[in-house]
Structures are given as C-alpha cells and as structure tokens.
C-alpha cells in the first residue's frame, strides 16, 4: 500500500485510446453501480472498471441498512410519522462539519430514492423492529439506527426510525442482494462492466479537464477516453500508510471493515487532478454492548469510576466516547436484576462480585468514586431522571441488587471494528471540487471515495453509507451523463 499520488496523464500524449465512451465509472459497489445505472438511463454510453472479479465492493459485506426518511412507505405502514424537515434537522445536528445543501437534497429526495430502490426489483418489508439492536435479526423493514432518541438530538428533531433493512435475515451481506439487482439493471441498460480491471491514472487536457482513465488488466494496459469519470472505488481503511497518516489511532487495535480494494486509490486519483479532501481524520468504530438491550439500563464508567456517556446512545457514539477516556478503558456495570449474557459478546464479560467494593478492587477503580457514581445513578434513575447525561427514561433502572457484573469495553479487550469516513470534497451533484470550491470538469466521486454527510463516529447512523452512497451515486451519474448530451 502507498500514499503516493498517481501521475496524471496528459491527453495530448495518448497515441491510442482503447475505448471511447460517455461515462467511465471506477468501481462497482453501491455508489458506482447506482452511478452507472443512472447515467445509462439518461442515454449515456457507460463503462465500469472493477478491480475485483465480481461486483459488490464493501457493500457486499454490509448488513443492508439504508438510512431513509421523510415519510417512506415503510414508515407510513408502521405508523411512524416523519418529514424531510425533521430528517434534515437531525442529520444537520449530528454532522461534524455539515454541508446543508447536501443534507437538504438527501432528505428532500429520500422518499423518491426509496421508491427507486424498490423499483430495482425488491420490497422493504412493511414491518418495524422495536428493540435496540445493531441490526434487525430477521427481515423487519425498519428500526432506529442512530441517536434520534438520544439527548440532545431528541430535542432538536422529532425522532423517527429511518434504518430501512433489505429483506435478508441476519447481520451481514444483506446489501449483496442490491448489488445483484444493480448488475442486472446495468446489463439491461447496456452498461459494460470489465472485472479484474483497475484504474491506474486519470487523463486530463491542458486546462485540467478530466477526459479519461488509464487501466490495467492482468498485465495489459490501455486508456479509455470519456466525457466524464466517476470515482467510486471505496475508502482507504485497508491502506495502512494512509490510515497511519490520517487516522493513526485506527492502526492500534481495532479490526478494519473493508475489502482489500479499500486502499484509497479513488481518493488518490482525485487528488492527482487537484481535488480537495474532507474529514480524512474521521472514522467509524464500534464494539456494541447490545443486544441484549437490557444491559443499557446499567452504567458505563471509565477507570476513574465516572460515567461519561448516555448508555442508550447508538453503539458507535458510545464507542467513540470510550476511546477518549484515559487509556481507552471503560466498563459496563449491571446488577443481578439486569444481567444478561450476549449471544455474541464483542465486549467480553469479566466477572461478577458480591459487593461493589470487591468489583472496584478487581477492576482497579477507586471504590469511593464508583460507589458515589452508582449511588447517584440509582437515586436519580429511581425517579426516572438522569440530570448528568439525560439517558431516556425507558433505560433508567437502579442497579442496586447485588451481585454486580462487568463487561470490558476497553480498547484491546473489546472487539472494536471500524472504517474510514473521509474522502474527496464534492458538490451536491458529485462534482469533485478543488480547495477553492471550483469543480474539476469531467470528474465526479461518490460513496466512500467522497465525503458526503460529514458524520463522525459520534454522529454516525447505520445506513447512511448505503443510503448516501446510492443517492449521491445516482446524482453523480446523472450529472456526468449530462456532459455527453
């Protein structure tokens, strides 16, 4: 792996073009597939270059959540009122460095995008999963997948569940079905896909307009001439040098979520043409403590015995706060009344103790501090209050029935996993932008190669990668196709 920026090729130095098309898409994950299908539906001649032997990218590993709202058919069928305005207010509140125009477009177009996804040939189940979980265990079509009901966001926007799950049971590869449908739709529209063919350079005119892509396939090389190029080649979590440069803490102990091709190539190709980047120091990382959701009635403390986060937070938000604690050490503590062993514990069970003092001593936490934290929590939760962290009342229950148990959320003990969130700076239509905000003519980006909704680990909601990747992939494809007309 490397942080080296590829050389950009001068168009006037190309003596022979292998192909001439309207739009070249680099990568066939959710973003690239949607870009290709949308561009082709506008009448463009589209070629997709995919380094792997099959379509899918990291999308094929995903559970299948799409973050959609504003009054989708599933929301309406399950009695959950939502509006584009409330969705906008929420996503604006949780974004680290928001781009309001993008968030507004995503929210205003969410219902029609939901309909478009279903037009590919499947239907989100019109059902709701009410429990707090990482992903629905079955085929339920809707659940909460973010911090909508967590303070302060529940006061900034009316909460609504927006995690729409593809109807595939289980917690992995649910989105692979969407990829299969995109491959079929692309074929119907005449899109050509070349597998085991990777982009290696961009080609530009003297004025900087991108006019093609250099490629490599099993030792063969060539150059495609195109009126537009869409970069949708994934993130950079598998490039250890880029991770060390931009998100060094992610190199320490978490597992990384991605494919070998999430090596930052798309980002580096964009930079070679003069692109700016955003959010490169941000990553999603998590080691969920739920399900079972009953555990969230407990308290999470650092090694000083202090609470530092509302325990009902979305799992990545909790994890992001854990990593900020001294030594990235944290424990989830519950009493006998609320103890339940997870089926797949990512935060391992440590032990149980008859007294709080014994537990404090075993965990290396100052006893008086832990006793004070527990007493305060128990006193307030008995009244349905949490004045310090505002945990929702439904998760407030005293932890005063010994013995007590602890789970280890410490980095290096719990099984954290993560992926990068930064990428190329883009417009609302996927145009790749320079530092001064001007678009690089002929160049687009979408999915994990770009930075779209500007979320960090504390504000991330499951489904925004697939949701925004597919939504802005379509916009990029549409705008790219317009340059050929």
User: pLDDT of the chain along its 485 residues, tens only?
Assistant: 578 899 999 999 999 999 999 999 999 999 999 999 999 999 999 999 999 999 888 877 777 899 999 999 999 999 999 999 999 999 999 998 899 999 999 999 999 999 999 999 999 999 999 999 888 888 999 999 999 999 999 999 999 999 999 998 765 566 888 999 999 999 999 999 999 999 999 999 999 999 999 999 988 999 999 999 999 999 998 889 999 999 988 887 677 778 888 899 999 999 999 999 999 999 889 999 888 899 999 999 999 999 999 999 999 999 999 999 999 999 999 999 999 888 777 899 999 999 999 999 999 999 999 999 999 999 999 999 999 999 999 999 999 999 999 999 999 899 988 888 999 999 999 999 999 999 999 999 999 999 878 777 788 899 999 999 999 999 999 999 998 76
* CATH no. for 288-408: 3.90.700.10
**Angle CA(467)–CA(283)–CA(274) in degrees, nearest 5?**
80
Report residue 160 CA to chain centroid gap.
Answer: 19
Tell me the three state secondary structure of residue 310: coil
pTM of the model: 0.95
User: What CA–CA distance (Å, rounded) separates 402 from 404?
Assistant: 5
Q: What is the CA radius of gyration of the chain?
A: 24
Domain topology for 9-62+175-284+417-482: FAD/NAD(P)-binding domain (3.50.50)
Give SS3 for 229: strand
251 backbone dihedrals φ, ψ, rounded to 5°: -85, -10
Question: What dihedral do alpha carbons 342, 345, 350, 352 form, nearest 10°?
Answer: 0
Is the Cβ–Cβ distance between 174 and 62 less than 8 Å?
yes
d(CA 288, CA 110): 28
Residues found in the chain: 485
- Which two three-digit tokens encode residue 336? 């006998």
Q: How many CB atoms lie within 10 A of CB 460?
A: 29
The Cα-based distances of 170 to 17, 166, 255, 465 in angstroms read: 46, 10, 20, 18
Cis? peptide before 403, omega within 30° of 0: yes
Which pair of tokens denotes residue 95? 């974004």
Cis peptide before 292 (omega within 30 of 0): yes
Please report, for the chain, the start and end positions of each structural domain, with discontinuous segments joined by +. Answer: 9-62+175-284+417-482, 65-165, 288-408
CB 162 within 8 A of CB 87: yes
Residue with tokens 């008995």: 382
Interacting residues of 379 by C-beta distance below 8 A, sequence separation 6+? none
Task: Assess contact for 464 and 455: CB atoms under 8 A.
Answer: yes
CB 149 within 8 A of CB 312: yes
CA distance 409 to 412: 9
Residue 412 CB neighbours (<10 A): 13
The confidence score (pLDDT) of residue 329 equals 97
Record the tokens describing residue 253, joined without a space. Answer: 């102990």
């Amino acid at each position: 792996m490397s942080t080296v920026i590829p050389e950009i090729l001068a168009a006037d130095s190309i003596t022979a073009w292998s192909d001439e098309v309207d739009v070249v898409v680099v990568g066939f994950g959710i973003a690239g597939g949607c870009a290709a299908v949308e561009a082709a539906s506008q009448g463009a001649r589209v070629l997709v270059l995919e380094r792997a032997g099959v379509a899918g990218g990291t999308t094929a590993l995903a559970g299948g959540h799409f973050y959609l709202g504003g009054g989708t058919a599933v929301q309406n069928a399950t009695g959950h009122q939502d509006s584009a305005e409330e969705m906008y207010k929420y996503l604006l509140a949780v974004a680290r460095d928001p781009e309001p125009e993008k968030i507004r477009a995503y929210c205003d177009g969410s219902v029609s995008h939901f309909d478009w996804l279903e037009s590919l040939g499947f239907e989100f189940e019109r059902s709701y999963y009410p429990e707090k979980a990482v992903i629905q265990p079955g085929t339920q079509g809707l659940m909460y997948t973010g911090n909508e009901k967590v303070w302060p966001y529940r006061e900034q926007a009316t909460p609504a569940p927006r995690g729409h799950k593809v109807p595939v049971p289980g917690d992995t590869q649910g989105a692979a079905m969407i990829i299969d449908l995109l491959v079929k739709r692309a074929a119907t529209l005449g899109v050509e896909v070349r597998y085991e063919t990777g982009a290696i350079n961009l080609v530009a005119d003297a004025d900087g307009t991108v006019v093609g892509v250099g490629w490599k396939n099993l030792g063969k090389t060539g150059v495609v001439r195109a009126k537009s190029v869409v970069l949708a080649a994934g993130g950079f979590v598998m490039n250890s040098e880029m991770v060390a440069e931009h998100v060094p803490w992610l190199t320490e102990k978490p597992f990384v979520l991605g494919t070998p091709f999430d090596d930052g190539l798309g980002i580096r190709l964009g930079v070679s043409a003069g692109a700016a980047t955003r959010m490169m120091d941000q990553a999603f990382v998590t080691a969920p403590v739920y399900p079972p959701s009953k555990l969230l009635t407990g308290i999470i403390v650092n090694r000083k015995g202090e609470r530092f986060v509302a325990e009902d937070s979305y799992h990545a938000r909790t994890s992001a706060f854990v990593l900020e604690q001294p030594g990235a050490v944290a424990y989830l503590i519950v009493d006998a009344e609320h103890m339940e062993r997870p089926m797949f514990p990512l935060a391992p069970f440590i032990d149980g103790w008859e007294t709080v003092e014994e537990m404090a001593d075993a965990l290396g936490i100052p006893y008086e501090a832990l006793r004070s934290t527990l007493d305060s929590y128990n006193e307030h939760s008995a009244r349905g209050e949490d004045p310090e962290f505002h945990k929702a009342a439904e998760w407030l229950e005293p932890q005063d029935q010994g013995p007590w148990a602890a789970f280890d959320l410490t980095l290096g003990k719990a099984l954290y996993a993560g992926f990068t969130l930064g990428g190329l700076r883009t417009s609302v239509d996927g145009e790749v932008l320079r530092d001064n905000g001007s678009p690089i003519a002929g160049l687009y980006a979408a999915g994990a190669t770009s930075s779209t909704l500007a979320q960090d680990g504390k504000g991330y909601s499951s489904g925004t990668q697939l949701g925004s990747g597919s939504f802005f992939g379509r916009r990029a494809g549409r705008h790219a196709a317009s340059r050929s007309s």
